[in-house]
Chains A and B, each alone.
Chain A
Amino acid sequence: MTTTTPIERLRGLRAVGELAAAHHRIPALLAELLDEAEPADRDALLSRAGRLLAGLDPDEVLHHHPATQVVTVAITGQSTVAGLVDPLTAELARHGLLLRPLIGDHGGWLRDLTDPGGQLLLERPDLSLCLLDAETVFAEVPSPWRVEELAEAADRVLERITWLAAEHERIAPGLLVLNTLPLLRRHTGQLVDHASRARLGAVWREFNARLLRLTERHRSLVVLDLDPLTAATGPVEDARLACYAQVRFTAPVLAGYAREVGHLTRSLTGLTRKCLVLDLDNTLWDGVLGEDGPDGISAADTLRGEAFGTFQRTVRQLAAQGVLLAVSSKNDLEPVLETLHSHPDLVLREPDFARVHADWLPKDGHLAAIAQELGIGADSLVFADDSPGERAQVRFGLPEVAVLPLDGEPALHVERLLADGWFDVLRLTDEDRARPEQYRLEGERHRLREHSGSHADFLHQLGVSVRLGPPEPHEYPRLVQLTQRTNQFNLTGLRLQPGDPAAAAEDPGRLLLAIRAADRFGSNGLVGALLGRHTPDGLLLENVWLSCRVLTRGIEQAALAALLTESRAAGLPAVHARFTPTAKNHRAELFYPELGFTETARTEDGVLFRHGLEFTPEPPLHVHVTLDLGWPTDAWAR
């Protein structure tokens, strides 16, 4: 057990010049810092850690850890914004990301973010943060002012911001982050009559509402709502620092803002967390099942019980938006399942959990198993437990897991759960919403597999059907997401960008097919895709993707067999394909040869294959395939 605090260890590393070399350990150090600090001290401590880390030379970190993701962030606004650098450095470091900040001039936000030759945009920031405050509007009203004049000023400012959003989208590659403007007592109090104050309040909120609505039109715009944030942090500004130093946000507000931006950045870099793993005793219900028995625990009807019920409803709210749930509990499995099944107080039931691990083994093992069984990384898990010992064990044993510090006060569980936006995404897709159901079905398939003799028996009982056809336009976002998330069965490493599916669908020389699968348990949805191009010597398969969720069921073989058969029927001379090895797709190396393709060349880009279509492979017996090319077959046999 170490006796030094994480801050002291960071300082020690810096003193001996090893901070850059130890960069991979920083997320774990910061997690420890946050878990062990008093809640009231967390932000200040994190900001101090950020100051230490902000002194690091990004190039030196990259020298030691070349794979580190560097995030270039333009920071500008109405006021002095340099105070954001420390907390933002720390928040990004929590996610293993390295901040390269570009600081604009205070008051110069409009120029900073719309001048393509300016200092900020020239660096092509991944993210542009524009911190606005009430001064953005009040700087435009005369002295003395009336509400009507303020309303006109608000209109002008909104017009400018609308133009900024469009212009930034046009010339800058990154995301623009704006915020609602907090209205302060020192503004409302300037009006002595309540009628005018009410009008001011309405005008102000209409302004903020229109600002928030800009995100409906601009996909690369995010507007952070500061109201809920400042309601939790306390004062928005220190009047003296605002007056003398143009600092118009206090450190706690900047800390909260930085936290939200940190999670936003994490989701942009593909690091979104997917599964919430929950302890049971004193986390999901009041009491200890093994000691108090099922009658001694509660999640309703008592003062403390109600608090746990509220927590469970919040967890269910997250699950409804695609967050997977799992249980990790030190208990015997039997009573846990019985309680989840029949205890009258519970909001969450066994089917709500993709996995339930209840035994007496260390919890890092539970979490590793949950990740493995769900086919996701440990870095996709968030673990909530009221016991500091269990949390430390997981932090130490499986440092990729994000750990939520709950404690003995259940009324604070919801706040702790939501303090970090671990599951934040830019936009939710239908597939996200359906994910928990998909994984629950996966659990049923898993049980069928366990009770089937051979794998062939299992597949036979599973009754897989595959439908191959052109994607519908509403499926394009899901298709893009699939190609970006699929690593194991991605035969060339290619990933589609948002405009690609529409472009491929419109091009008569190209073939884009979605692979949809279902079985006796229900639909798997869109699980794969196939991209091809017509050439004089037949069809060239540019890539095939299949979600790892449905691998080893014969789906990919069935899809290809059908396509080859159809190509032969259409009189094509051949089908060509390419396999490019990546860090994760070695399992798919033999995919083409096993379907009768022969190797024709090896290049830097990988292995080229050709199938002469003299005879085509039979699809696996247990799979029923339907193929709709959406394209008259004689069109390709030119």
Chain B
Amino acid sequence: MPGLDSLDGFLRLVRTELDLELTDQDAETELAALPGWDSMNLLRLVTLLESGSGRRLPVPTVLAARNLREIYAVLEEAA
């Protein structure tokens, strides 16, 4: 999936695919504090990132992530 090779690209993807209004600082924001966040979003992200990148992600690590930067780190590690 194009754009997944940088944190900015990842945030852009989260913005459009999950329809969240994020600023660039929101990579560090606690997930539950993101405007419009709900717990289903983590599951949506797993499906989205796996189908987009063709990689299998460690689901428990994604589910335990506290913010978007940590999710991006999981994605990088799986590369």
Top-8 shortest CB links A-B = A240-B59, A244-B59, A82-B40, A52-B19, A51-B19, A244-B60, A245-B43, A244-B63
Contact between chains at B36 and A55 (CB < 8 Å): yes
Question: Across the two chains, which residue of chain B brings its CB closest to A240?
Answer: B59
B47: CB under 8 A from chain A? yes
Q: Using Cβ atoms and an 8 Å threshold, which residues of chain B touch A238?
A: 47
User: Is A251 in the interface zone, CB < 8 Å from B?
Assistant: yes
Interface centre among B19, B46, B47 (most CB of A within 10 A): B19
8 Å CB contact of A241 from B36, B39, B46: B46
Contact A83 B43, CB 8 Å, known A241-B59, A244-B60: yes
A251 to B43, CA, bound (A): 10
Interface string of A10-48 (1 = CB under 8 A from B): 010000000000000000000000000000000000001
- Knowing A244-B59, A247-B43, A251-B47, the reply to whether A48 touches B17 (Cβ < 8 A) is yes
| Cβ contacts under 8 Å, B38 to chain A | 82
Q: Given A48-B19, A52-B19, A251-B47, A83 and B40 touching (CB < 8 A)?
A: yes
Chain A positions near chain B (C-beta within 8 angstroms): 11, 48, 51-52, 55, 82-83, 238, 240-241, 244-245, 247, 251
Task: For B18, give the chain A residue with the smallest CB separation.
Answer: A51
- Chain A residues whose CB sits within 8 angstroms of the CB of B19 once the complex forms: 11, 48, 51-52, 55
Q: How large is the interface on B (under 10, 10 to 19, 20 to 34, 35 or more residues)?
A: 10 to 19
Question: In whole angstroms, how far apart are the Cα atoms of A48 and B42 in the complex?
Answer: 15
23 sample A-B contacts, Cβ–Cβ < 8 Å, listed by A number: A48-B17, A48-B19, A51-B18, A51-B19, A52-B19, A55-B19, A82-B38, A82-B39, A83-B40, A238-B47, A240-B46, A240-B59, A241-B46, A241-B59, A244-B59, A244-B60, A244-B63, A245-B42, A245-B43, A245-B59, A245-B63, A247-B43, A251-B47
Q: Determine how close the nearest CB of chain B comes to the CB of A15; give it in whole angstroms.
A: 9
Question: Apart from A241-B43, A244-B60, A251-B47, what are 14 other A-B pairs with CB-CB below 8 Å?
Answer: A48-B19, A52-B19, A55-B36, A82-B39, A83-B43, A238-B47, A240-B46, A240-B59, A241-B46, A241-B59, A244-B59, A244-B63, A245-B59, A247-B43
**In the complex, chain B residues 2-23 whose Cβ is within 8 Å of any chain A Cβ:** 17-19
Which residue of chain A lies nearest to B39 when distances are taken between CB atoms in the complex? A82
A48 to B44, CA, bound (A): 10
- Shortest distance from the beta carbon of B36 to any chain A beta carbon, whole Å: 7
Q: Which residues of B have CB within 8 Å of A251?
A: 47
Closest to B58 in A: A240
A109 to B43, CA, bound (A): 22
A241 to B36 CA separation, bound complex (whole angstroms):
22
List, in ascending order, chain B residues with CB within 8 A of A51's CB.
18-19
Residues of A within 8 A of B47 (CB): 238, 251
Alpha-carbon gap, A618 to B39, bound state (A): 73
What A residues does B18 contact at CB under 8 A? 51
Of listed A11, A51, A83, residue having the most chain B CB within 10 A: A51
**Residues of chain A contacted by B63 (CB below 8 angstroms):** 244-245
Residue of A nearest to B47 (CB): A251
In the complex, chain B residues whose CB is within 8 Å of the CB of A83: 40, 43
A135 to B37, CA, bound (A): 29
A83→B41 CA distance, assembly (Å): 10
- Give the complex CA separation of A48 and B36 in angstroms: 14
Residues on A with C-beta less than 8 A from B42 are 245
Write the chain B residue with the least CB distance to A47: B44
- Cβ of B43 to closest chain A Cβ, rounded Å: 6
* Nearest-CB residue, chain B, relative to A250: B47
When distances are taken between beta carbons in the complex, the residues of chain B under 8 Å from A245 are 42-43, 59, 63
Q: Separation in Å of the A49 CB from the closest CB of chain B?
A: 10
* Residue in chain B with minimal CB distance to A83: B40
The answer for the CA separation of A99 and B58 in the assembled complex, in Å, is: 34
A245 CA / B38 CA spacing, docked (Å)? 14
Neighbouring A residues of B36 by C-beta, 8 Å: 55
Chain B residues with CB below 8 A from A241, complex form: 43, 46, 59
Q: How far is the CB of B4 from chain A (nearest CB, A)?
A: 17
Within the assembled complex, what's the spacing in Å between the Cα atoms of A240 and B46? Answer: 10
* Cβ–Cβ < 8 Å partners of B60 in chain A: 244
- How close is A250's CB to chain B, nearest CB, in angstroms? 8
- B40: chain A residues at CB < 8 Å are 82-83
Q: Report how far A244 CA is from B39 CA in the complex, Å.
A: 13
Residues of A within 8 A of B17 (CB): 48
